[in-house]
């Protein structure tokens, strides 16, 4: 589906004015990596930095979408406009997706102060889609006070979110067996705030204490991470969560610096390179790639040496993929 844009500067201007239809359209263009996307991203640059970007991540079923829904309501009570980027997985086989996060956020559908967009992960690992950072930027430029990023519930290695969000909220729930184990290795390190949702359940306090104990084992020079209990369905604890987010956001804005932004860009570039290389290897019909694959199969080449050869090949004839 080749979509060309007749009037990109006007679309960008309407987005900056905050027009929802323009924001929606710009997100599609950026997500699809169309030529117009780069023009829009350039046009919005002077309008970035207003929003606080809050990431919500955690294992499947802990109540991320429900907590986001309740958190939106709290933000609206505090007079903030909200943008939500909700990511669900794409099928690795067909590329298709059913995007259902916003089912839990239906109460905000008709609120002009809330703009929710569902994104499919489109093959990206790490819980977000490749364009999530840019989509967050678009919402920022459109004047949203708070942008919420909700990741795919993969439970671990949501380091992507850590690179994009100003405030990282990691959500857990009681009674999920080893879920404390599941979050401690990968994403505990990135959390600014830990939340135990479903606090009405019997084991909630125990889970909270386990998390606090685990935090107690960390290097004492690191900043403290609050552990909060929420019950998203009954809407308790969400005011505390909003306060905690504001406190972290205040700290972040102070230490915001260019090297962090450059680091983030470098990370996004590395991701894009990996994606391009993957597409090249999977779709290329050239002899060169076939020979590398065969070399690995016959144990003449190591995987890392094969990868090096692919990257060299990309540089030389990257347009045949």
Partner 1 sequence: MALTATIPARVLVTKIGLDGHDRGSRIVAAYLRDAGMEVIYTEPWQKIESVVALALQEDVDVIGISSLATDHLLVPKLMKALDGAGLGHIRVIVGGIVPDDEEAVLLKSGVSRVFHPGADRADIVDVVARLARDAGANRPDG
Q: Which positions lie near partner 1, rule CB under 8 A?
A: 1, 3-8, 10-11, 20-22, 24-25, 27-29, 32-33, 36, 90-91, 94-100, 102-103, 106, 109-110, 115-118, 120, 122, 276, 279-280, 318-321
> CA–CA separation, 37 vs 306, rounded Å?
33
Cβ nearer to partner 1, comparing 31 with 179: 31
CB of 187 to partner 1, least distance (A): 26
Tokens representing 309? Answer: 């050869």
Cβ count near 210 (within 10 Å) = 18
Query: CA neighbours within 13 Å on the CB side: how many for 268?
Result: 17
> CA–CA separation, 2 vs 96, rounded Å?
18
Cβ nearer to partner 1, comparing 80 with 280: 280
Instruction: Judge whether 195 and 170 are in contact, CB under 8 Å.
Output: yes
Cβ nearer to partner 1, comparing 116 with 211: 116
Cβ nearer to partner 1, comparing 237 with 321: 321
Residues in contact with 93: Cβ distance below 8 Å, sequence separation at least 6, in sequence order: none
Instruction: Please work out, in degrees rounded to the nearest 5, the angle formed at the alpha carbon of residue 124 by the alpha carbons of 120 and 126.
Output: 105
Cβ nearer to partner 1, comparing 10 with 42: 10
CB of 290 to partner 1, least distance (A): 18
CB of 112 to partner 1, least distance (A): 9
Cβ nearer to partner 1, comparing 23 with 75: 23
CA dist list (Å): 149 to 52, 88, 103, 165, 293:
11, 11, 16, 8, 38
CB of 318 to partner 1, least distance (A): 7
CB of 302 to partner 1, least distance (A): 25
CB of 247 to partner 1, least distance (A): 30
Residue that is written with structure tokens 């999530």 in the block: 132
Cβ nearer to partner 1, comparing 79 with 96: 96
Instruction: Judge whether 79 and 111 are in contact, CB under 8 Å.
Output: no
Instruction: Judge whether 292 and 301 are in contact, CB under 8 Å.
Output: yes
CB of 62 to partner 1, least distance (A): 21
Cβ nearer to partner 1, comparing 6 with 221: 6
Residues in contact with 44: Cβ distance below 8 Å, sequence separation at least 6, in sequence order: 12, 15, 16, 137, 138, 141
Residues in contact with 173: Cβ distance below 8 Å, sequence separation at least 6, in sequence order: 58, 59, 61, 62, 63, 179, 196, 197, 198, 201, 207
CB of 127 to partner 1, least distance (A): 17
């Amino acid at each position: 589906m080749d979509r060309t844009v007749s009037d990109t500067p006007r679309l960008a201007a309407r987005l900056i004015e905050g027009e929802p239809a323009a924001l929606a359209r710009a997100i599609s263009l950026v997500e699809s990596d169309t030529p117009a996307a780069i023009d829009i991203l350039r046009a919005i640059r002077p309008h970035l930095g207003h929003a606080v970007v809050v990431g919500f991540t955690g294992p499947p079923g802990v109540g991320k979408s429900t907590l986001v829904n309740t958190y939106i309501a709290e933000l609206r009570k505090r007079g903030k406009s909200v943008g939500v980027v909700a990511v669900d997985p794409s099928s690795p086989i067909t590329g298709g997706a059913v995007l259902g996060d916003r089912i839990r956020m239906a109460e905000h559908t008709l609120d002009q102060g809330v703009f929710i967009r569902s994104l499919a992960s489109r093959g990206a690992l790490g819980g977000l889609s490749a364009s999530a950072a840019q989509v967050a930027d678009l919402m920022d430029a459109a004047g949203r006070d708070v942008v919420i990023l909700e990741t795919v519930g993969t439970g671990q290695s949501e380091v992507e979110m850590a690179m994009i969000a100003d405030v990282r909220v990691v959500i857990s729930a009681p009674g999920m067996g080893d879920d404390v184990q599941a979050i401690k290795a990968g994403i505990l390190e990135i959390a600014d705030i830990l939340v135990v949702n479903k606090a009405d359940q019997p084991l909630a306090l125990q889970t909270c204490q386990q998390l606090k104990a685990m935090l107690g084992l960390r290097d004492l020079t690191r900043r403290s991470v609050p552990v909060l209990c929420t019950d998203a369905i009954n809407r308790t604890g969400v005011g505390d969560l909003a306060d905690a987010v504001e406190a972290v956001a205040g700290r972040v804005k102070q230490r915001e610096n260019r090297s962090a932004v450059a680091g983030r860009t470098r990370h996004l570039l590395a991701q894009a390179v990996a994606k391009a290389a993957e597409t090249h290897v999977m779709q290329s019909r050239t002899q060169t790639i076939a020979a590398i694959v065969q070399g690995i199969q016959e144990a003449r080449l190591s995987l890392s040496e094969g990868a090096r050869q692919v990257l060299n090949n990309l540089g030389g004839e990257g347009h045949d993929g």
